[in-house]
Every structure is written in structure tokens, then in C-alpha cells.
């Protein structure tokens, strides 16, 4: 699986062997926006067209396009993990929020393809 980025939107891309096409979907939004192409060039153009069409359609119907992410994350962890993270943050001299942001960013960068 690969990814693409255009105008702040990201897409997941995979090869569909049965149809012999590359297929993608914009990630990080609830609206379903898909695209496909038979070559990398076609796929890139289809992705950019899909984003542009999504933005234009939202404008036409008076809807604000979804932003990929708000910057707010809420999740639950085990109390022991919370305690260790809070202690690590305090010992590092930063807030738990700053510490968690760094940890998530480091993990995400390690998992994503190099740009």
C-alpha cells in the first residue's frame, strides 16, 4: 500500500490485481472519495481531479469540505501507561500533551514512507 498527497489531502493507494488498476481513496475524512488509474500518471491525475472535484462539489452545495484532521485526539490507555507517560513527560520537562505529540510524531514518521 502506498500514499499520495495533494492540497493537504492524503490518499491510500493499492493495486487491484483483478481489475488491473491502481485504486485509491482519500484518507482522514468521512466523505467517501475514490479514484483509479491504469498507470501511475493516470492515478496521480485522477487523485488530483478527485480532490479538486470534492472541493468544488462542497462549494457548489454550500458544505464546508472536511479537513483531514483537527489536531484533537482523544483515546483511553491503561492507567499504568498513563502513569509512565506522565512521569516521562515530567522528567523531560514538558507537558504530557507535548510529550505525547512528540511520541506520536516519531512513531508516525517511522511508519510513513519517506517524502
Q: What is the pLDDT of residues 56-92, one digit of tens each?
A: 999 999 999 998 777 788 889 999 999 999 999 999 9
- Threshold 0.85, pTM exceeds: no
CA atoms of 101 and 25, how far apart (whole Å): 26
Domain-wise residue ranges, the chain: 2-61, 79-111
Q: Which residues pair with 16 in a beta bridge?
A: 21
pLDDT at 91: 93
Task: Specify whether the CB–CB gap between 41 and 54 falls below 8 A.
Answer: no
Residue 60's CB is within 10 A of a number of other CB atoms, namely 8
CA atoms of 94 and 48, how far apart (whole Å): 40
pLDDT at 115: 52
Taken as a whole, the chain contains a residue count of 115
Gyration radius from the chain CA atoms: 19
Residue-wise pLDDT tens digits, 20-54: 999 999 998 989 999 999 999 999 999 999 999 99
Amino acid at each position: 500500500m502506498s500514499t499520495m498527497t495533494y492540497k493537504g489531502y492524503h490518499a491510500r493507494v493499492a493495486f487491484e490485481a483483478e481489475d488491473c488498476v491502481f485504486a485509491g481513496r482519500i484518507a482522514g475524512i468521512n466523505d467517501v472519495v475514490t479514484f483509479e488509474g491504469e498507470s501511475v500518471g493516470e492515478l496521480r491525475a485522477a487523485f488530483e481531479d478527485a480532490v479538486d472535484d470534492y472541493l468544488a462539489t462542497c462549494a457548489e452545495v454550500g458544505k464546508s469540505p472536511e479537513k483531514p484532521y483537527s489536531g484533537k485526539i482523544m483515546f483511553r490507555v491503561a492507567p499504568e501507561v498513563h502513569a509512565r507517560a506522565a512521569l516521562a513527560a515530567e522528567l523531560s520537562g514538558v507537558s504530557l500533551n507535548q510529550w505525547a505529540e512528540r511520541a506520536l510524531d516519531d512513531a508516525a514518521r517511522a511508519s510513513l514512507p519517506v517524502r
